[in-house]
Amino acid sequence: MKTSIILILVLLSSTFAKAADYAYFGFEPSIVTNYVAVKKKMGYVRLTVELMIEDATNYEIVEHHAPLLRDAIINIIGQQPESKIKSINGRHEIQRLCEDKVKELLEKETGKPLIKKLLFTQWLDN
């Protein structure tokens, strides 16, 4: 019984140690960009984006590349139709596109994707 408890504690502590290695980078200020709405009107989106960095020591590297990453996110959102901007499933797809692009750019610039996840933590559209 003691062996099982010790094993569980070791597994839990290694899980928490792994989680402690992550860092979060938030784009400041929030991203605001236009998209093409129905009937050629312009709509806009204001969103907050956080990057989950796999190793906290890579925070400064990600921060250094923030302008490039921000531009890529703005370009992706600006190309989306209103139907995607306004739907939950569309937002998830946009988030995945942004995450893939950010990982691709970081891999190109640094040799590693550096981030685990891209998160939209706030999304306001008109």
* Beta strand segments in 3-114, E: 23-26, 31-36, 42-53
What does the pLDDT look like over 33-91, one tens digit per residue? 998 777 767 889 999 999 999 999 999 999 999 999 999 999 999 999 999 999 999 99
Entry field: residues in the chain: 126
Residue 25: inside a domain = yes
Q: What is the pTM of this model?
A: 0.80
Q: Are 99 and 117 in contact (CB under 8 A)?
A: yes
- Tokens 């190109």, located at residue: 108
Average pLDDT over residues 16-35: 82
Peptide bond into 67 cis (omega under 30): no
Could you tell me the two tokens for 57? Answer: 């020591």
When pLDDT is cut at 50, 70 and 90, the band that residue 12 belongs to is low
More confident residue, 39 or 125: 125
Helix axes 88-110 and 66-78, enclosed angle (nearest 10): 150
The answer on pLDDT for 27 being more than 80 is yes
Domain count of the chain?
A: 1
Could you tell me the two tokens for 79? Answer: 């190309």
Residue 14: inside a domain = no
The CATH number given to whatever domain includes residue 25 is 3.30.479.30
